[in-house]
Amino acid sequence: MPKSCKTIGVLISCFHEPYQARVWNGLAKYAKQKGIELISFVGTSQDNVNTLENHYYIVTDFIKRAKLDGLVCFGGAIENHRGTEFSEKLYNEFKGLPTILISSRTAGLPSVMVDNFNGVVAIVDHLVKDHGRKKIAFIKGPDGALEAEERFSAYKFGLQKNGLPFKNELVRPGQFMKEDGVNAIKTLMEDKVKFDAVIGADDFTALGAIEQLRNSGINVPMDVSVTGFDDESIASVTYPPLTTVGQPWNEFGKSAIDNLLNLINKKKVSDIISLKAPVYFRRSCGCFPATIDEDKKETDNIIDISLIKKQFVEKVLQNSEDYNISQKELTQKTASLLESFSNVSGYKKESGDHNFLNRLEILFDSMEKLQNGTDLLLEFLSTLQNQAEGIFTKVRDLNKANGLLQKGQSLLREYKLISLQASTIKDAVFQDQIRESCQGIITTFHQHELLSMIADKFPALHINRTIFAMYNYSGRMLTTENWEFPEKSKLLLSYDFENSIKIINPEDNLFDTKDIIPDNLRDSNKPANWIMMPLFFNTEHFGYIVFEHATGHPPFMFEELRTHIGSSIKSSSMMDELKIQSMMDELTGVQNRRGFMSRGKKLLEAARDAGKKTLVFYADLDKLKTINDTYGHEEGDAAIAGAADILKQTFRRNDVIGRIGGDEFCVIMAMDNANETGHAIMERLNQNITKINKILSKPYKVSLSVGTSVFKPDNNKSLDAILKEADDHLMEKKRARKKAERDALKKTTL
């Protein structure tokens, strides 16, 4: 990569947790906007985030050796999974590398934090002052988790601030899960605890509470108000819409990267970078969106509508990092909408409504692709409603304007519901594609087929580039217990869909593991967003896979694909092992007849395609019957094994050696070795016969008779025919030798 391009690592616990995924998405978008290359290292498995902690150690070894300018750690999530002591030891491994944390306060490292405390206090204030709630229950997050503890402390402070006593009976445990909300309501009711409001430590907990309250016949919000924290995507479209404290999702990534760049450039950075948490009051607490007056400004002055337009355009542009919106076009369409709104007095009711709604629809069309475009427009209409009294002086015009805004809000909510339904259908189709790919992976038992499937199927999942490497580790199997960083890896697959490049099992495939992505596979003009995941099956580790992430597509699928690929690799290796065992001769350790014929045919086909000749040898063990009759069959087996050792030492590792009968062996020389003369080979064979006999020190001699045949690429002889030709040459030699022995015997008897 060019020196001007920074490479930043990200240590993330997992992608299937919505909180981490949304923060990471903001991080990835801002990195792309800044021209930064991102490599994200996943520390756990999707299936067992609590038991495979040593994945952190594996990716930590990669992080320490990678060419990174800085590192962002999802500290809060890591601490939730493994605890503070584990996390602090982990961070110590990165000494010397500029590092910033997200949602953690570990001493010595700066962290980007959301203002959990004041967000929850604002919720308590609102429940007490605006809805008159006095018995407010709280469902906690994980004990020891920083954010969970802060939210609980804020709840207690909010009660005290509003003159309400803290009662432990109103508190229930939780782990940031929907089931915690369900169980909390059940136990509160079983214990006959009276409550009129519930604050969940996160949205999923709150949604669980709403579900159980409704199942119990308790109305939300009439009987009990419920609020959450995080403003998950489902919060505003559930029933009733959930009042919650929002997370500044995009601000997390922006702030983390900006402050990390300051660290890299030796600039001072605060220990805690605090982000303000917005509060969204919705129906679950008792509010109606159109009547919320928290931000309403009482004024007798005429409102400058051009200022409202300017602020709205700026806010939309700030939220459009992943989608190009023309500022000029946005400004014009917003001005057109505001013109139709401010001129309501000049319209007849029906035509004025249509004019305003049509222009709203045109503006919506420009913003529809934004992740929160509908919410921004709804917020814009609420702002107009809050400021309407400063825009219109006549009661008739004010009423007409409010009527327009209510129709506009209804139209946008309908579009939001349609958009959500369309998104659900789209997600379902995409999930089917993922399942289809996973099904194909898990039912593939051969490595080459697996690699081909990845290269062919993954582009349809918007994965345009992938690197697949296996550790080149000679010795014991690598597991989470005996992990050692392999210096070298074998590149098995790399593909670049956009540039139509696909390489499976390249010739020169060894590279330094610490490089992660070999330099020649990176595009120096296009900093990428890479996701690196170790490949494993249970505790056994094979290698790793790197995906390029495309903005706007779910990162959770990579964990699912990784899991299935690991299982497929294990299956293929087991199949290969069984295949090897089924094609090996147990006594001699060379190919059996089946294995020899299979490999031999492939070797001769390759030689024919390359236009090269090769040599074929047919050998048998001399006087095996005599050895068996004189010394027993065990010694006969020892002699056969000795003959195989002679052949293994005479020929090269890439030659094909097979035992095709009791005492018969065949050898096909690899093309690269076939230029060696038959005389040289026979000389080496005789030397090895002498050597093996000396080692064996048997009362008999192990010797071989050998016949040869030349395979020529321009003939169509089958392997069987070539072997018969070599066998015929062997028989000719044996007959000639026996004749010579008989002639010699006659001379001695005369």
What stretches of 162-264 show up as alpha helix (H) in DSSP?
Answer: 178-190, 203-215, 249-264
Would the pLDDT of 296 be above 60?
Answer: no
Amino acid at 349: K
617/726 Cα distance (integer angstroms): 6
pLDDT tens, residue by residue, 482-523: 888 999 998 988 888 877 777 877 666 889 999 998 877 777
Specify the pLDDT at position 397: 81
At 124, which CATH number? 3.40.50.2300
**Is 327 part of any domain?**
yes
Say whether both 42 and 127 belong to one domain: no
Element (H, E) at 228: strand 225-230
**Is 255 part of any domain?**
no
496/480 Cα distance (integer angstroms): 31
Say whether both 576 and 608 belong to one domain: no
| Percent of the chain predicted with pLDDT > 90 | 36
**Is 29 part of any domain?**
yes
Specify the pLDDT at position 320: 67
Among 396, 414, 443, give the residue marking a domain's end: 443
**Is 295 part of any domain?**
no
Specify the pLDDT at position 750: 55
Would the pLDDT of 634 be above 90?
Answer: yes
Backbone angles phi, psi at 421, to 5 degrees: -65, -40
Asked if residue 577 lies in contact with residue 446, where contact means CB atoms within 8 angstroms, the answer is no
Give the pair of three-digit tokens for residue 122.
């604002």
**pLDDT band for position 525 (cuts 50, 70, 90):** confident
Say whether both 128 and 205 belong to one domain: yes
- Better-scored residue on pLDDT, 653 or 174: 174
Give the pair of three-digit tokens for residue 736.
């000639």
Backbone angles phi, psi at 223, to 5 degrees: -90, -45
> Which is nearest to 448 in space by CA: 573, 581, 538?
573
**Is 3 part of any domain?**
yes
Among 290, 321, 340, give the residue marking a domain's end: 290
Specify the pLDDT at position 144: 79
Specify the pLDDT at position 1: 44
Would the pLDDT of 577 be above 80?
Answer: no
Say whether both 47 and 138 belong to one domain: no
pLDDT tens, residue by residue, 430-487: 677 777 777 777 777 777 788 888 888 888 888 888 998 988 876 567 777 788 899 9
Say whether both 173 and 83 belong to one domain: no
**Is 433 part of any domain?**
yes
Strands (E), 89-165: 99-102, 111-114, 136-139
Among 581, 609, 644, give the residue marking a domain's end: 581
pLDDT tens, residue by residue, 378-391: 888 888 877 777 77
The tally of domains found in the chain comes to 4
**Is 385 part of any domain?**
yes
| Mean pLDDT of the residues in the chain | 84
The pTM for the full model equals: 0.67
Specify the pLDDT at position 52: 47
Say whether both 535 and 564 belong to one domain: yes
Backbone angles phi, psi at 80, to 5 degrees: -60, -40
Give the pair of three-digit tokens for residue 23.
């923060």
Would the pLDDT of 299 be above 70?
Answer: no
- State how beta strands 7-12 and 70-73 pair: parallel
Say whether both 534 and 566 belong to one domain: yes
Say whether both 58 and 150 belong to one domain: no
Residue 40: partners with Cβ closer than 8 Å, 6 or more residues away: 9, 10, 11, 12, 24, 529, 530, 531, 532, 549
**Is 12 part of any domain?**
yes
Say whether both 90 and 175 belong to one domain: no
Range of the domain at 659: 593-749
Specify the pLDDT at position 38: 94
**pLDDT band for position 291 (cuts 50, 70, 90):** very low
Say whether both 548 and 629 belong to one domain: no
The DSSP 8-state label assigned to residue 584 in this structure reads B
